[in-house]
Amino acid sequence: EVQLVESGGGLVQPGGSLRLSCAVSGFTFNTFPMNWVRQAPGKGLEWISYISTSSSDIQYADSVRGRFTISRDNAKNSLYLQINSLRAEDTAVYYCARGMISDYWGQGTLVTVSS
Partner 1 sequence: DIQMTQSPSSVSASVGDRVTITCRASQGISSWLAWYQQKPGKAPKLLIYAASSLQSGVPSRFSGTESGTDFTLTISNLQPEDSATYYCQQAHSFPFTFGQGTKLEI
Contacting positions for partner 1 (CB under 8 A) = 35, 37, 44-47, 50, 59-62, 95, 100-108
CA–CA separation, 112 and 91 (whole Å): 5
CA 114 and chain centroid, separation: 20
3-state secondary structure of 74: helix
Min dist. Cβ of residue 21 to partner 1 (A): 16
Least distance in angstroms from the C-beta of 70 to partner 1: 13
Backbone angles phi, psi at 88, to 5 degrees: -55, -35
Q: Which is nearer to partner 1, 83 or 109 (CB)?
A: 109
Closer to partner 1 by CB, 39 or 71: give it: 39
CA dihedral sign, ordered 74, 29, 7, 55: positive
- Beta carbon of residue 38, minimum distance to partner 1 (angstroms, whole number): 11
By C-beta, is 73 or 103 nearer to partner 1?
103
